[in-house]
Chains A and B, each alone.
Chain A
Amino acid sequence: EIVLTQSPGTLSLSPGERATLSCRASQSVNSRFFAWYQQKPAQAPRLLIYGTSNRATGIPDRFSGSGSGTDFTLTISRLEPEDFAVYYCQQHTGTMYTFGQGTNLEIK
C-alpha cells in the first residue's frame, strides 16, 4: 500500500497570501493518478485537481497542482475566505486508492 504523508498538518495563513501544501508518497506514483480534494465542515470532499495538474470543472485558476514521482504540491496563489478548509491528496495504483491524512488550512 502506498502511504501518502501531507505536510504541514495545519497551515495558518491570511486571505490574500499564497498557500503551498505538500504530499509525499512512500513509493513513486503515476502522475496521471494523483488528485487533490477540498473538504469543508459537514460536507463531502470536492475534487480540485486530477492527473496532478488538471483543474476539475469549476475550480478557480488560483488552484494549481504540480509534482511527480513521490512529491506533489497544491498551490493556492491568493487565498480567498472560502478556501479555508481541509485538503486531502489521493493516489490510485493497481487496484487500490489511498488518501493523505489531510492539511487543515486555517485563517491566521
Chain B
Amino acid sequence: QVQLQESGPGLVKPSETLSLICTVSGDSIGSHRWNWIRQPAGKGLEWIANVFDYGGGRWYNPALKSRVTISSDTSKNQISLRLTSVTAADTAVYYCARDVRGDNYGHFDSWGQGILVTVSS
C-alpha cells in the first residue's frame, strides 16, 4: 500500500522560499503523476503542480507557476516543492497526492497526512 509523507519547515519568513519534500513508499514515483495540493485553514483545496515521467513531465497551476518549482528524485523516491517569495497568503496545509496513470486517472487516490506551513516573521 502506498504511503506519502510530507516533511519540511513549519515556519517560513515572508519573501523567503518554502521547500517541502514528499517521501513515497510502496510505489515508484516513476509510475504515476505526483502532486502538491494546499489548503489554507478553513478554506478549500488548491492544486499547485505535479511531476511525472521520472521528472521529465511537469504541470503547473498558472496562478502559481511563476513562483513554483516541482522536481523528483527517483533514487530517493521523493518529490520536492519550492515556492518562492512567500507571503501570508501561502500559509496552508500542504499535501502530497498521487494521480494514478492508466485507464482511470485525473483524480487523487492517495494522500499524505499534510504539513502545516506558516508564513510569518
Give A contacts to B, CB under 8 Å: 1, 32-33, 35, 37, 44-47, 50-51, 54, 56, 88, 90-92, 95-102
By secondary structure, the A interface counts as: strand
Q: How many residues of B contact A (CB 8 A)?
A: 22
**Complex A-B: 30 CB contacts under 8 Å:** A1-B62, A33-B105, A33-B107, A44-B97, A44-B111, A44-B112, A44-B114, A45-B45, A45-B95, A45-B108, A45-B111, A47-B108, A47-B109, A50-B106, A50-B107, A88-B44, A88-B45, A90-B45, A90-B108, A92-B105, A92-B106, A92-B107, A95-B60, A96-B59, A96-B61, A98-B47, A99-B44, A99-B45, A100-B44, A102-B44
Q: Does B104 contact A (CB under 8 A)?
A: yes
Q: Which of A32, A88, A90, A96 contacts B104 (CB 8 A)?
A: A32
Q: A32-B104, A44-B97 known; 9 other A-B pairs, CB under 8 Å?
A: A45-B111, A47-B109, A50-B104, A51-B104, A56-B109, A90-B45, A96-B59, A96-B62, A101-B44
Closest chain B residue to A29, Cβ basis = B106
Measured between C-beta atoms, what is the minimum distance from A73 to chain B in Å?
A: 17
CB pair B47–A35 under 8 Å, yes or no, is no
Give chain A residues whose Cβ lies under 8 Å from the Cβ of B107.
Answer: 33, 35, 47, 50-51, 90, 92
Q: Does B27 contact A (CB under 8 A)?
A: no
Q: Does B113 contact A (CB under 8 A)?
A: yes
Closest chain B residue to A56, Cβ basis = B109
Give chain B residues whose Cβ lies under 8 Å from the Cβ of A35.
Answer: 106-108
CA distance A96 to B112 in the complex (A): 20
CB pair B47–A99 under 8 Å, yes or no, is yes
Closest 9 CB pairs of A and B: A92-B106, A33-B106, A35-B107, A44-B111, A95-B59, A97-B47, A99-B45, A50-B107, A101-B44
